[in-house]
Structure 1
Amino acid sequence: MTLPRLTKGGIKTGTFVKTASAQVIEILGLSRLDFAVIDAEHAPFDRLTLDTMTIASVAVGLPLFVRIPEPTAAVVLTTLDLGVAGLLVPHVDTAEQARDIVAMTRHRGGRRGFSGSPRFAGYGTKPMAKALDAGETAFLMCQIESAEAVENAAAIAAVDGVDGLFVGYADLSLSMGLENPQDPRVTAAAARVFEIGRAAGKTVGMFIGSAAERDRYAALGVDWFVVSSDQTLLRQAADAVCPPLA
């Protein structure tokens, strides 16, 4: 899959998709978003639904990532075979875990099973070598969302095949025994990750609730933003057309 929206330089903006609908992807593809992330960790998606949503993403040229529910070989294989742009993998705490996940994504030198029949390989139209090349292009973002992961962030970023670090503020705060993602101790830990990611030449990402937060974090080197979700954006748009409450 060619990804023109992701090949240009600068800050990239996407949103989480929590609704099992190909039409949602079609509509977002008509927006100025650079990508979308299906949240299969916190919302219900089966393999067939992911497939139809990926078809929609290809049709509108919107790069589609999947936040997978767990980093198992079967989940990684079936998701990448659909031809998605990349994976957002939650709870990557160590470099050893990161290396294992990378191995799951790779045919050459890894543990990803190969078939030339899925979408990523052109439904059997690509010679094996070219299909293997296509299998190497998926973008891998590792979520740093525990105190342990922050300590190991430099080692995780150094793993060949890890393309970016994504800070999960909510789980990071809980890991630190806190219940406020904006606690200064959490933001300081996140800033360490941002600095480590930039120094390693990796993409640095995070979730934000609104576009207003983007400039503040962009100044810290964050360049891959997941803003809100399709459900929240829909609710906010609906509220915006209603008269103020008395």
Structure 2
Amino acid sequence: MTRQTKLGTFVKTASPQVIEILGTTGLDFACVDAEHAPFDRGTLDLMVMAGRAAGIDVFIRIAEINPAVILSALDIGAAGLLVPHVDSAEQAREVVAMSRHRGGTRGYSTSPRFAGYGSLGMKEALRAGENAQIVCQIESEPAVRAAAEIAAVPGVAGLFVGRADLALSMGLDNSRDPRVLEATRHSLAAAAAAGKIAGMHVGSNAERDEFAAQGADWFIVSSDQTLLRQAAQAIAG
């Protein structure tokens, strides 16, 4: 792994204490999975608040590309968004526009957490709003074909390969099928060539090291649920 490699894990349990615990580790970030786990707006707010208190960045994987969803996640102070099913550069540009005040369509208020609850001036708050990272998930064959164009969109911080949905889009049920792995390599290379985050989900450190050798540098390793289950099973023997 390179010095720039960032490591995190998915959080699927609706408890801010999970974020607090992860803040005591060497992880760089946590990604709250609002796409596949039961998080409402109030709970997401507590998860991000816990991250700030614990000193760990909290990303949110949003459930859908929707202006209100993006506005809410960024207003509560998420370090960035993991955006599912971005299939084209045009769609990526729309997502970026939804996330930006200047040159975009994101509504502005000085009162949310990202703006320091009114303690920041408008210029400083706008600068803070521009810092949120937008990472687009590559989860279909059209997205793979458009990976270079998506990565080139200004405001896109990186690409994140979602191998499970990518496999399904190919009519497969194995995320390690050679066709999926080739599409993964292609997408990671497109991100790296653009100087952007090259991210993916992996199940283990061994898999992390495998894909780091192919240029991936931003990993969500496993999840809180899986880590808990594995630790409990190790005790059970």
Calculate the TM-score normalised by the size of structure 2. Answer: 0.98
Q: Compute the displacement of 1:177 (Å).
A: 1.2
Q: Does 1:230 align with 2:234?
A: no
Q: Secondary structure at the match of 2:175?
A: coil
Of 131, 146, 151, the residue aligned with 1:137 is 131
Of 165, 174, 182, the residue aligned with 2:168 is 174
Cα RMSD over matched residues? 1.0
Of 183, 191, 200, the residue aligned with 1:189 is 183
Q: Compute the displacement of 1:240 (Å).
A: 1.3
Calculate the TM-score normalised by the size of structure 1. Answer: 0.94
**1:110-167 deviation line (CA, Å, top 9, x unaligned):** 0000000000000001111111111100011000000000011111011000000000
Of 64, 86, 95, the residue aligned with 1:101 is 95
**Amino acid of the structure 2 residue aligned with 1:45:** F
Of 114, 136, 141, the residue aligned with 2:108 is 114
Task: Give the structure 2 partner of residue 37 of structure 1.
Answer: 31
**Amino acid of the structure 1 residue aligned with 2:22:** L
**2:4 and 2:157 mapped to 1: Cα distance?**
16
Q: Compute the displacement of 1:9 (Å).
A: 4.2
Task: Give the structure 1 partner of residue 74 of structure 2.
Answer: 80
Q: Compute the displacement of 1:35 (Å).
A: 0.4
Q: Which runs of 4+ in 1 moved over 6 A?
A: none
**1:191 and 1:200 mapped to 2: Cα distance?**
14
**1:5-62 deviation line (CA, Å, top 9, x unaligned):** xxx9421110000000010000010011110000000001011101111111000110
Task: Give the structure 2 partner of residue 200 of structure 1.
Answer: 194
Task: Give the structure 2 partner of residue 128 of structure 1.
Answer: 122
**1:31 and 1:69 mapped to 2: Cα distance?**
27
Q: Compute the displacement of 1:213 (Å).
A: 1.0
Q: Structure 1 stretches of 5 or more lacking a match?
A: 1-7
Task: Give the structure 2 partner of residue 3 of structure 1.
Answer: none
**1:12 and 1:161 mapped to 2: Cα distance?**
19
Task: Give the structure 1 partner of residue 11 of structure 2.
Answer: 17
Equivalent residues, number: 236
**Amino acid of the structure 2 residue aligned with 1:191:** R
TM alignment of 1:44-55, pairs within 5 A: 44-55=38-49
**1:104 and 1:9 mapped to 2: Cα distance?**
32
Identity of aligned residues (%): 64
**2:206 and 2:134 mapped to 1: Cα distance?**
27
